[in-house]
Structure 1
């Protein structure tokens, strides 16, 4: 008797804290949990009505067949279902369907237990909108970055249509879009059978990436064949044959492949060199900038010559407080050298953690001294370094009046995401906030985004740079705006270089703006404040 009483209490506790529906053997709803009633704001269903009316019409027939099969087999069913709760968006749930029988194996009741996943489905749909270019249907830079990591490729190419703007200016924008579409179709017909994928970057620029780790010499050979192919085959647009001239740049290396390919394309566009494929190799690129940085880094650490510059980040509507981003510089004589020259080299040495600590130390002191909020970039290397994390904690505790934001980069480059989560919890407990940097490139895992719940999202600068000329960049931005509005996370746009871009982003109600138009980095935070 006592066991029955405990079982009754257990069932009551489970039913009151879950999304659950009980249905009799005739298929009529006999009980609805309170939590599910709260989701049914339109009072779309009630006891006594058939279960079939609760199921969305798109899936109703399929689900009822699944339930009947489970009853016949005396087994449960689990999967994803969509319900008709009368809400603005579809209501998606993970579901477990369990038929219950009496001692004679006759069906007595049916239980449907649910887990609401509508938010995750909605965010995935928004992301999917940013992954494909509206004009050509090609995947965008978002997928390209992810595929470069997945394939672990050693080569990427970029194609540019020479003088494309003259076609659009002369024949109109609709003709230009049709030309891009037909060109992309011609490219796909040539490259896809050769295991090479194509992506729309922006404007008339397309990226090419092998679907496996292809030898660079073979990839260059395929590009050469395509060059000859496009010369022999004109592109048909609205009944007219267009003879296109293209430029191709190819990057080869282990890192920064897009940067190498862009550099190669820039060379290809400088002069017309027939059907030549311009190639920039990482080793050659590094050799052209072959300064021995190690002694300079050692000397700068020893003599405290790593200093912070600060760039203002302005509220677009004045309703939020402005803040500043700390940008490290290495003082060398009368020059302050930007991090692009030395930071990647420093990451391969034991001196990199010391640079991060110098930046954090100055930011904490200046934030407390001048009563301003300052953001600091931290990489996965920083977060995985226990001594660096301990140093950051000590500094925040020593200056409780400081207000810091930690911009986390490369969150997809580590499988141990728990360390990132632990870092964010630790610094937040000490009064700091969290931003995700370079959002829009490669961030396909929304469960991580939701788990971190950042205080700010910084839009990748490559999207903002082309926002006025490139429809795909605008589409990606619109998708991210929808995501951030849904999650109630303010956005920060980098690379705001002109009045036109500033005006456009302000109209889109991007909360914070950063770039040379807003203000250049300066070592003197007093003048900026």
Structure 2
């Protein structure tokens, strides 16, 4: 048996591709991924799926440039490699031609069954096995927006930079857990009636050599590595311990991942008992938009409310916020999206949106927290509107110790 030959399609396989890429320089690689190939297997069975792959191989051999080589990389992934010198326009023309060819080609699996397939093509140029990863990254970028299209790898694209940043933070979040460098910081929330600190929001940071990193930098990497729930559990443990000898209320940010894993109720109740803290002192801030709350998640949140925990909707007023879902759920607190508060004095639209939210919450008995209060004039306007709580650098930035 030839270890470098694919037994199903009888073309060179991934091992042959890697070896070939290492032996040549300045190649053009077209990575071809069959869109939704699993649908074929699910609808017609694996045998028909294999027949379609054989036919797709035949069509690719017809569509590819005559001087290029064809490889089967994975089950539904192929690569065309050309050594010809090509401009970006030429690369685009070839990819477009292959996609059009398949758009017009019928694949017959039997006398009764015929299908058409669409392809996504990632193109990369260069030397070595890395260009295969580059092409695969391009396909991931493509599929965030559409299928049945192509794209040339651009190392300066926002998507690529984000992927590189995620890799960096994946390593950093791993080190932070191992070295116990995840630290909770606390930002005061002011009761606008008493003008005193009544609550704190608990905010996680990574501390490295005195430099603090906010969660916006590493939460995506934490999600990718499956450590998001560990971040939440760290905040719960540290914050409950911090507030055990105080009378302050405090809020903890939770994500949909925490709710899907369904550990919050048990963890929170155990921590409340351990540190002798009444659940009524704790608000759980739902980070996702209100319209992402499924019936299962709503049931879980309502169960937490039954035990005494308060629920807060964060960043309300963003474009995807759903007022009808808000009324259906009726949280205890609502945080108005900080961008509106920041611009409340200079932007009439921001003021109008805030006024509408305030009116809705007053009629629904929902307490409001204004974030991003950064000066006395904004605070004066917030109080004038009847907003119950304020939070922002005007009152204090997040700190490791309570003010």
TM-score, normalising length from structure 1?
0.44
Q: Is this contact kept in 1: 2:252–2:285, CA < 8 A?
A: yes
For residues 237 and 287 of structure 2, what CA distance do their matches in structure 1 show? 19
Residue 234 (structure 2) pairs with residue 353 (structure 1): no
Q: Is this contact kept in 2: 1:424–1:452, CA < 8 A?
A: no
Shift of 1:291: 6.4
Instruction: Give structure 2 stretches of 5+ with no counterpart.
Output: 1-140, 145-155
Taking the TM superposition and a 5 Å limit, the aligned residue runs for 1:125-524 are 281-286=157-162, 289=165, 292-318=168-194, 322-402=198-278, 403-412=281-290, 414=292, 417-442=294-319, 444-524=321-401
Shift of 1:283: 2.0
Q: Which residue of 2 aligns with 1:52?
A: none
Query: Comparing 417-426 with 452-461, which one deviates more in the overlay?
Result: 417-426
Instruction: Give structure 1 stretches of 5+ with no counterpart.
Output: 1-251, 256-279
For residues 340 and 385 of structure 1, what CA distance do their matches in structure 2 show? 21
Shift of 1:386: 1.9
Q: Deviations over 1:174-200 (max 9, x none)?
A: xxxxxxxxxxxxxxxxxxxxxxxxxxx
Q: Which residue of 1 aligns with 2:23?
A: none
Provide closer, same or farther for how the CA distance between residues 281 and 472 of structure 1 changes in structure 2, counting only shifts above 3 A. Answer: farther
Q: Is this contact kept in 2: 1:254–1:282, CA < 8 A?
A: no
Q: Deviations over 1:346-378 (max 9, x none)?
A: 111111110111011112222222221110111
For residues 429 and 297 of structure 1, what CA distance do their matches in structure 2 show? 34
Provide closer, same or farther for how the CA distance between residues 421 and 320 of structure 1 changes in structure 2, counting only shifts above 3 A. Answer: farther
RMSD: 2.5
Q: Is this contact kept in 2: 1:383–1:389, CA < 8 A?
A: no
Q: Is this contact kept in 2: 1:397–1:430, CA < 8 A?
A: no
Q: Deviations over 1:6-33 (max 9, x none)?
A: xxxxxxxxxxxxxxxxxxxxxxxxxxxx
Shift of 1:400: 4.2
Q: Is this contact kept in 1: 2:188–2:197, CA < 8 A?
A: no
Provide closer, same or farther for how the CA distance between residues 424 and 485 of structure 1 changes in structure 2, counting only shifts above 3 A. Answer: same
Indicate the SS of the match to 1:330. Answer: strand
